[in-house]
Amino acid sequence: MSMKWGWFDSDTIVVIVGIFLLGLAVGLSIWLDQISTGYGMEILLIGSLVLVTMWYGAHTKRMANEMREQRYDSLRPIVDFEHVESELVEAVRRGEAKVIVTEPFLHSLHCGIRNIGVGPAIDVYSFTMRANGERIRQDFGTIATKGETPEVPLFVEQRDDRKVLVAYYKDIYGRCFESSQEVRAEGKRLVKGPLKIRKIAEEELP
Q: What is the pTM of this model?
A: 0.64
CA-wise closest residue to 167 among 184, 149, 185? 149
* CA dihedral of 181, 128, 187, 105, whole degrees rounded to 10: -100
Q: Which class does domain 79-204 fall in?
A: mainly beta
Check if the beta carbon of residue 61 is closer than 8 Å to that of residue 48.
Answer: no
Average pLDDT of the chain to the nearest whole number: 78
Q: Rank 33-47, 72-86, 129-143, 180-194 by mean pLDDT and report only the highest.
A: 129-143
User: Once rounded to an integer, what is the mean pLDDT over residues 45-52?
Assistant: 76
Domain residue ranges of the chain, discontinuous segments joined by +:
4-73, 79-204
Provide the pLDDT confidence category of residue 198 given band limits of 50, 70 and 90. very high
- Does 6 score more than 50 pLDDT? no
The amino acid that residue 138 corresponds to is: Q
